[in-house]
Structure formats: structure tokens, C-alpha cells
Amino acid sequence: MLLLRSLLFAVGAWLVLLVIAALGMLTWPLPFAIRFRVISQWARFNVWWLTKTCHVNYEIIGRENIPAGNGIVLCKHQSTWETLILQQIFPLQVWLLKRELLWVPVFGWALALLEPIAIDRGSGRKAMQQLIDQGKRKLAQGRWVIIYPEGTRTAPGSKGRYAPGGAILAEHSGYPVVPIAHNAGEFWPRRKFIKRPGTIKLVIGPAIATQGRKAQDINAEVEAWIEGVMAEITTSPPLGDER
């Protein structure tokens, strides 16, 4: 039954992707806000469809911690799910991602219309300068910047290295950082097709002031908060083949 439910979810997600991507192509001459509103409907559909097909529900804690203005979101990365739900929580937004994603047919084309900060991870200092320059510009335009400091998805109960890119952007821009922890990997694991029923907990932390602070201190505070909350909400042991 889990396999059938997961298959039904996948079929629906891909069919709707084709429709939304086609509609998204038609929005290219329109303002960013309209493009985002149209293309992000795919994310909204997937979150809803996941609850209906796989019985993966969610609880969001700490919405009151979201500041009135925009800022930088540094989020735990365990699943595909958080990339979808954050589009509902923080409109309008852009993401830091590897540029190769823009080359994926259909998906990448729609993604490019949302003007992400697409970098070449192998270019070192050049990539960091891209993040700073483009990130400051996006923030000045009123957009949230979404960054997953661990870079790649981790298994429940495990932790990756928290790269300093998001904290460096915060140091240079002075915008607040909103840390986010969640346990989506327990229900939609990375590299796994099967989705497990249950309720994901996503916790939004208090905004962290960054003006006049060094990136190292900001990054350390973010990591301590996220991993502290992860220790409280994680219910399953690490999956051995996903470490």
C-alpha cells in the first residue's frame, strides 16, 4: 500500500509539473511576483497531494517568529518536502542552488524563471562573491533568500557541515536570519521513493540579528539552535544506508 500511494503521488506530481511549467513559460515577460505565484502552485499542489495520497501531514510551529520584513532563511535539509513548504511560508523568495539544476529539462526552465542564485560550487571565491552580490540585490528587492547550509540532504539523526555562505551574506547585508528545523526526512527520506505516513514538525526559530556581527558567530548560533531543536523533534534513528 505504501508503494501504491507513493506511486500515485509521483504520477500526480509529474503531471502537474508539466502543466505548471507550461503555464510558467508564458509568464516570462511578467513581473517576478506573478511568475512566482504561478510557478509555486506546483509546490502547493505537492504539499496538498502528499497529505491526500501518502497521509504525510505537517505542523508548523513558530510562525510568530517571522519578522515583518524579509531576510535570510537557513534551514535544515533532509528531504524534498522543505523546499516545497517554504514556498508557502516565505513568499516571495529565491534560493541558493547549484547552476546545474537549471539545465534539467522542463523543471530547470521553470526554475530559471524564478531567478535563483545559481552558482558553480567548484569556483570557490567567485561563487561566494556571487552569493554576496546577488543575495544583497535580491534582499534589497524585498525577497527572502533561502539557503540550506548543509548543502546536501542528511539522514534523520545525522548532521552535515554548516557552510558559512548564508552567514557571510548576513554579515555583509545586515538582514536578519531565520533558522528552521524539521524532521521531514523521517517521512520523505532522501533517495527514497516510499513516503511514510505521519506528521512532520517544522519549527521556525526567533529571528537572529546580524548587524555588526561576524559570520562565524552567526553560523555557530544558527547551527546550535537548529541542532538543538532537531534533538527534540527527531523520533527515528539514523538510516544506515543514508549516512
Q: What is the pLDDT of residue 237?
A: 56
Q: Provide CATH code, domain 56-242.
A: 3.40.1130.10
Beta bridge partners of 147: 74
| Contact assessment for residue 188 and residue 79, using Cβ atoms and an 8 Å cutoff | yes
Render each residue's pLDDT in the chain as its tens digit; 243 residues. Answer: 899 999 999 999 999 999 998 898 898 899 999 999 999 999 999 999 999 999 999 999 999 999 999 999 999 999 999 999 999 999 899 999 888 788 887 778 788 888 898 887 767 688 889 899 999 999 999 999 999 999 889 999 899 999 999 999 999 999 999 999 999 999 999 889 999 999 999 999 999 999 999 999 999 999 999 999 999 999 865 444 333
This prediction has a pTM of 0.90
Structural domain spans, the chain: 56-242
Query: What's the pLDDT score for residue 104?
Result: 80
| 169 vs 140: CA distance, rounded Å | 13
In DSSP terms, 81 is beta-bridged to: none
Q: What is the pLDDT of residue 38?
A: 93
**DSSP string computed for the chain:** -HHHHHHHHHHHHHHHHHHHHHHHHHTTTS-HHHHHHHHTHHHHHHHHHHHHHH-EEEEEE-GGGS-SS--EEEE--SSSHHHHHHHHHS-SEEEEEEGGGGGSTTHHHHHHTT--EEE-GGGTHHHHHHHHHHHHHHHHTT-EEEE-TT-S---TT------SHHHHHHHHH---EEEEEE-GGGTS-TT-SPPPPEEEEEEEPPPBP-TT--HHHHHHHHHHHHHHHHHHH--SPPPGGG-
